[in-house]
C-alpha cells in the first residue's frame, strides 16, 4: 500500500519546519509535451527529526535557565560510640585544708607538751638526786649523832663501845678498862696525837682472851679494833 509521507505528516503539523525551494520544485515535464502524471515526491525524514531535537534542546535550555541547578551536598554521618567505664577516683574532702591546719596545730601542741614533759622529767631527776643526797646526808648525820650519843653514854657509863678511836676526856674518861673476850684479832693503842704517824702511838697491845688497858689523862685518844666492849674498872 503506497502512501506518501506528505499525507502522514501534513505541513500544518510542523509549522516550524521549513523546506527549501528545491524540495517543492515539481518534476520537469515529460518529453513529447504530453502531460504525464506527476510523480510522487520523495519524503525526507531529517527535517522533522531536526525540529524535534531543536525543540528538546530549547526546552532543556529554558528549564536550566529558569531554575537553579540543585546543589549537591555531601553529608558525612559520624557515629560516636560512648562506653561507660567506672573508675574509682579519690576526691579530697572539701574541708581538707582545715583538717591539715588542725593537724598542724595538734602536732605543734604535742611538741610543746613533749618539751614540757622532758623539762619535767629533768626536774624530777634533779629532785631525785637532791633527795638522794639529802637522805645520804641525813643518814650520815644520824649515824654521827648516834655515835656521839653512844660515845657520850660510854664516857658517862665508864665503858668503851666496840671499835673506833675515842678522844680522852671528851668521849671516854681516863682509867682502867677490861674486855672480857676477844676474837683473836684484838688491837688497842694509846695515842699522843691523831696524825696517823707511828710516833703518835704511846703503847699498844694484841690481847688474846681477856684484856686490860689503863688510859692516862695525858693521852689524846684511845684506839681499839675487834676487841668488843671495854668496861671501866
Name residues of the chain where pLDDT drops below 50: 1-25, 27, 30-34
Identify the residue whose cell numbers are 582545715: 98
pLDDT in tens, 142-165: 888 877 666 555 555 578 988 999
Q: Give the span between the Cα atoms of 137 and 126, in whole angstroms.
A: 16
pLDDT given for residue 146 in this prediction: 79
**Rounded (10°) CA dihedral 112, 117, 122, 128:** 160
Q: Give the span between the Cα atoms of 188 and 91, in whole angstroms.
A: 95
Q: Give the span between the Cα atoms of 123 and 119, in whole angstroms.
A: 6
Cell numbers linked to 99: 583538717
Q: pTM of the entire structure? A: 0.36
- Identify the CA nearest to 24 among candidates 3, 6, 49: 6
Q: Give the span between the Cα atoms of 231 and 233, in whole angstroms.
A: 7
Cβ neighbours for 19, distance < 8 A, ≥ 6 positions apart: 47
Domain ranges of the chain: 98-157, 158-232
Q: Give the span between the Cα atoms of 222 and 67, in whole angstroms.
A: 157
pLDDT given for residue 61 in this prediction: 57
- Identify the CA nearest to 216 among candidates 170, 174, 177: 174
- Identify the CA nearest to 181 among candidates 202, 163, 207: 207
Backbone angles phi, psi at 152, to 5 degrees: -65, -40
Residue 230: count of CB within 10 angstroms of its CB:
27
Amino acid at each position: 500500500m503506497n502512501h506518501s509521507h506528505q499525507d502522514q505528516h501534513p505541513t500544518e503539523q510542523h509549522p516550524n519546519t521549513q523546506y527549501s525551494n528545491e524540495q517543492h520544485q515539481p518534476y520537469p515535464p515529460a518529453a513529447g509535451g504530453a502531460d504525464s502524471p506527476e510523480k510522487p515526491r520523495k519524503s525526507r525524514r531529517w527535517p522533522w527529526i531536526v525540529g524535534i531535537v531543536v525543540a528538546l534542546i530549547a526546552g532543556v535550555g529554558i528549564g536550566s535557565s529558569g531554575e537553579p541547578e540543585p546543589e549537591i551536598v555531601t553529608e558525612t554521618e559520624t557515629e560516636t560510640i560512648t562506653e561507660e567505664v567506672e573508675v574509682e577516683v579519690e576526691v579530697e574532702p572539701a574541708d581538707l585544708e582545715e583538717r591539715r591546719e588542725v593537724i598542724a596545730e595538734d602536732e605543734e601542741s604535742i611538741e610543746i607538751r613533749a618539751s614540757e614533759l622532758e623539762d619535767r622529767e629533768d626536774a624530777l631527776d634533779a629532785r631525785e638526786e637532791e633527795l638522794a643526797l639529802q637522805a645520804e646526808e641525813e643518814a650520815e648525820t644520824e649515824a654521827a649523832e648516834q655515835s656521839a650519843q653512844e660515845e657520850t653514854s660510854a664516857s658517862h657509863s665508864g665503858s668503851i663501845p666496840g671499835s673506833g678511836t675515842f678522844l680522852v676526856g671528851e668521849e671516854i674518861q681516863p682509867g682502867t678498862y677490861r674486855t672480857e673476850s676477844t676474837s683473836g684479832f684484838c688491837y688497842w693503842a694509846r695515842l699522843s696525837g691523831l696524825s696517823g704517824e707511828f710516833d703518835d702511838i704511846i703503847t699498844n697491845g694484841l690481847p688474846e682472851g681477856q684484856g686490860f688497858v689503863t688510859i692516862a689523862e695525858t693521852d689524846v685518844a684511845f684506839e681499839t679494833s675487834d676487841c668488843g666492849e671495854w668496861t671501866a674498872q
